Amino acid sequence: MPVSAVAFDLDYTLCVPERDRQTLLDEATAAVGAPRLSRETYLDAHRRNLTNETREAIFTDLLDDEGVSPAALADAYRDTISDALVPVEGVEALVTDLRESYRIGLLTDGPVRAQRAKLDALGWTELFDAVVVTGTLDAGKPDERAFRAVIEELSTAAEETVYVGDHPDIDIAGAHAAGLRTIQVTDDEPIAEADGAVERNALTAHLPNLIESL
């Protein structure tokens, strides 16, 4: 069956922060007077709170009774990340060109306001035919329900949809298990579940032909 739709991950696939995430987290906690939080601890809490409107639940888990508002820290971190994000070179034109041949979707993990703020900051609110943020769902990636949600929004079947993402387990293994074709964005050896692989800085040059080859 030919490919009729392409769905993308957002973070570290189509855009990257200009500063590393630990630095951004440090900037946000410092801005509201919160104690320093490690990136690893934050990610653990993030995985437990993929289906929320904001990051407030994440920071509620992490702050205990530190005298700092989780909502204020969520706002600070959202603004810090949005200000630091830059698109991978050429991806806006890439997505626009792909829309001439395919339905194009976005499936991104995280709280709704956080992920929507990134799209606003990048100017991408109208770039995709369908956008699914797991904060609106009952489960985030790699749960099959997340991938089914974007397929439904795109009005396509799993076997005719390609998912493009960077994380080997959350993106690629998850999409593969849900029946989608997969392209891993990586500088290393792709995992077995990937139907193809491309380096992030080569997306514009190689992704269209790679999709056609599937």
pTM summary value: 0.92
Residue 114 near residue 55 (C-beta atoms within 8 A): yes
Bridge-based pairing of strands 85-87 and 15-17 is antiparallel
Counting beta carbons within 10 angstroms of the beta carbon of residue 210, is it exposed (0 to 12), middle (13 to 18) or buried (19 or more)?
middle
Please report, as a single letter, which amino acid is at residue 106: L
Torsion angle of the four alpha carbons 46, 51, 54, 59, in this order, in degrees rounded to the nearest 10:
-30
Whether residue 65 is predicted with pLDDT greater than 80 in this model: the reply is: no
- CATH class of the structural domain 5-16+86-213: alpha beta
Whether residue 24 is predicted with pLDDT greater than 90 in this model: the reply is: yes
Looking at residues 107-133, what average pLDDT do you find?
A: 95
Q: State residue 78's pLDDT score.
A: 93
Whether residue 56 is predicted with pLDDT greater than 80 in this model: the reply is: yes
Taking the domains of the chain in order of start, what are their residue ranges? 5-16+86-213, 21-84
- Record the tokens describing residue 199, joined without a space: 């380096």
Q: State residue 67's pLDDT score.
A: 84
